[in-house]
Amino acid sequence: MAFTWVDWTMIGIIVISSLISLSRGFVKEALSLLTWIVAGAVAWMFGGALAERLAPYIQLPSGRVIAACALLFVVTLLLGALVNFLIGELVRVTGMSGTDRVLGMAFGGARGVLLVVLLVGLLSLAPVQQDPWWQQSVLLPHFLLVADWSKNIVLNLAGHWFASGQLAPPVGMGSMLPSQ
C-alpha cells in the first residue's frame, strides 16, 4: 500500500522536528522542553497564590487566575531561555557541539513521534475513523495504537495523582472548579 498525504505529513513532522533539533543541539532542546514543563508546573502550583495578590487590580476571579498563571508561565520561560543560552554557550565553548547536535537530532525525532502520537490521539476523538484519508493511511494504525496505549497510561496516572491529592488544584483555584 502506498503512503497517503497523511502518512507524508506525519513523516514531515518527525523529519522537521529532527532537523530543528539537529540545528539547535540536544542540550538546548532538552533544556527548552524542561523549561516549558517547569513553566507549566510553576503556573499550576503558584498561579492561585499570585491570583489572590492580584485581587485589588483584577475584579473577575477567572481573569485573576488567567493573568497570574500567564505571568508566571512567561517569566519562567524567559528565565529558562536565559539559562538555556548560557548553558548552550558553555557547550559551544567546550567543543562538544557535534555530539550535541547528533543527540539533538535523535531527541527531535522522538519529540516528532510524540507530537504525531498526540495529534493522532486528538484526531481519534473526532468522527474521522470512517473518512477515506484515515482508513487509507499506512502509518495511522501504528500511531493510533501508541496513542491509545499512551492515553490509558496518562489517564491512570492522572487519576491516581488526583485521588491521592498529589495533583490538587492550586491554592485559590479550587473554588473555580466544578463541584462533584
| Span 10-45, pLDDT tens digits | 999 999 999 999 998 999 999 999 999 999 999 989
* Helix 97-123 with 61-94: angle, nearest 10 deg: 150
Say which residues have a Cβ less than 8 Å from residue 94's Cβ, sequence separation at least 6: none
Share in percent of the chain as helix, strand, coil (round to 5): 80, 0, 20
pTM score: 0.71
Smallest CA-to-CA distance from 12 within 128, 150, 108 is with: 108
| Span 94-144, pLDDT tens digits | 888 888 899 999 999 999 999 999 999 999 888 888 899 999 999 999 999
